[in-house]
Amino acid sequence: MNNRKRNKGIDFPRMQKKLKIFLSSAAEYSKRALEISKPVIVKFLKGVSDFVRHTAVISKPVIAKLYKDVSGFIRRIAVKSKPVITKFSKDVSDFIRHTAVSSKTIITKFYKDVSEFVMRTTVISKPVIAKFYKDVSEFIRRTAVIIKDSFRRFFRFAGPSPGKAVKAPYTFFNGSKRLPGKKLAVYSAVLIVFSIFLLWFVSNQIMFAKHYWEGEAEKKFRISPGQSLTEIAENLKSNDIIGSVFLFKIAAKISGSDNNVISRTYIFKNGISNSEIISMLTDKSLMFSLRFTVPEGMRIKFIGKLAVNKLGLNSDVFINETINDSLINVLGLKGKIKNLEGFLFPDTYNVPVDITEKELVRLLFNEFRKKVIQNNEIQESITKNKSSLLSVIIMASIVQGETQLKPEMPTIAGVYFNRLAKRMKLEADPTIQYALPDGPKARLLNEDLKINSPYNTYKFTGLPPGPINNPGLDAIKAALNPEKHNYIFFVATGKGGHKFSETYSEHLQNAKEYRKSLEK
């Protein structure tokens, strides 16, 4: 009964006055608290120092702003990080259960408020945010009740109000009439550490939480000049590169980089955080490149399609750029070829992410110049054979179209040179495939061999007017150094290679064996 009366008789306005007295004696309190609980304070200060060193975001004003917007942060995090929030609630529950056993009633209420807050944040609404602020305020008020006995102890340090006698305080912790200074330090440290932990958790989620998307490992993203931070964030979100526009904008503000974004094309890898994105957006020295592989024997129109899929370029623009008179003049072939088919070197390139169609054509052409035109061995062979660059590349493209096997290339080249020497038609299937508007086909029909095209080597004698693809170095060398033999015919084996013959009868027998292999 006495305890209840004492508790019931507490005058909160009086307590506010005494709180002022407590604040005026803060220096003395700090000194005595330090003497009583020096080990606890030292450990706490060390923890705070480590925290500030590793996770302090930018400045005191930012941290103050962060405290104010805690509710908004967690509300947004809950949208994409429900499991994390649930685990956080569980951790908070465990932490409170193990460190505040004595204040079971208030801790239970606080946990209930936090659980309710986490549940409601998934709905994302302003009323929930307002409720969160209200709950936090309530928690702070209840915390003040927990340490009121400590205040009375401190009031004794400062002295009672004039004409007022200080009653023996009642405590929630153990029913005793006084709270030891050491316990005060412990409970104060717990509250501060919890606040710092909450701040660290939210900051970590904003800056360092990684976002993953389904599918491709990398995504290409373009920032145009004049785009605002909001537009950039919304585009990142629409491309599923970030999880939240709001959190990204907060991260950019915290880092002080919101006005330093560089307009260019970026490559973002799956599992990237806001901090990493912001660092990339503001790094002037950063260069992005993509691996772009042009297979040997690929035609211009298919390189254009590859550029669409791999580099995001326009196929029609790329093809138009290959009809470049200035580059054709470099080859000395003006009026002899209609485009750069055969003169774009197949290889693997590291190209800038913002490369244009024109730049890509020049890159492939310049590599051809370096690997072929400026190759002394090739130029000496052309001169020795009394040939021309155009005829060599045309023959190399036919050889490349017939086989991808390097050992076979000189043999096949020898077959075609033997046919030319005998004034026979080349009858090369790859030239028909090139002439067909919808080619290449999986299998040519007899009617395809009748197509009216200068590239139809079943109809016209000699080499076609231009290359039919972009051959590799091995095919070019095979065209310059064909194998010496008497073969006139060859047929596929069905296993990737070819079988060669000198007579037509042998060829028919080989063809028969090939058809049988298809029937198995």
- 287 within a domain of the structure (yes/no): no
Contact 297, 400 (CB under 8 A): yes
State both tokens at 489. Answer: 């015919």
pLDDT at 140: 55
Of the residues 176, 207, 238, which one is the last residue of a structural domain?
207
Q: How far apart are CA 321 and CA 359, in angstroms?
A: 9
Residues 37, 93, single domain; the answer is yes
Residues 47, 186, single domain; the answer is yes
- 294 within a domain of the structure (yes/no): no
3-class DSSP state of 354? coil
Parent domain of 460: 386-485
Give me the residue label for tokens 């080990």.
39
Total domains, the chain = 4
Contact 490, 422 (CB under 8 A): no
Residues 199, 238, single domain; the answer is no
Q: How far apart are CA 443 and CA 433, in angstroms?
A: 9
State both tokens at 292. Answer: 């772009």
pLDDT digits (tens, 9 = 90+) for 67-124: 556 545 555 555 555 565 566 556 655 654 555 444 455 545 555 555 555 455 544 4
C-alpha radius of gyration, the chain, whole number? 40
Residues 478, 403, single domain; the answer is yes
pLDDT digits (tens, 9 = 90+) for 409-458: 999 999 999 999 999 999 999 999 999 988 898 889 999 999 999 999 99
Contact 103, 147 (CB under 8 A): no
For residue 237, the domain's CATH number is: 3.30.1490.480
- 263 within a domain of the structure (yes/no): yes
Q: How many CA atoms lie less than 13 Å away from 289 in the CB half-sphere?
A: 9
Residues of the chain with pLDDT under 70: 1-189, 520
Residues 240, 198, single domain; the answer is no
Rounded to whole angstroms, the maximal C-alpha distance in the chain is 131
Q: How far is CA 443 from the centre of its chain?
A: 42
Residues 68, 197, single domain; the answer is yes
Contact 103, 143 (CB under 8 A): no
Q: Give the single-character DSSP code of 298.
A: B
Residues 360, 402, single domain; the answer is no
pTM metric for this prediction: 0.57
Mean pLDDT of the chain: 77
Q: How far apart are CA 13 and CA 429, in angstroms?
A: 101
Residues 83, 174, single domain; the answer is yes
Residue type, 356: T
pLDDT digits (tens, 9 = 90+) for 444-488: 999 999 999 999 999 999 999 999 999 999 999 999 999 999 999
180 closest CA partner among 146, 149, 155 = 149
Residues 228, 185, single domain; the answer is no
pLDDT at 174: 46
Residues 448, 333, single domain; the answer is no
Contact 322, 344 (CB under 8 A): yes
Residues 118, 216, single domain; the answer is no
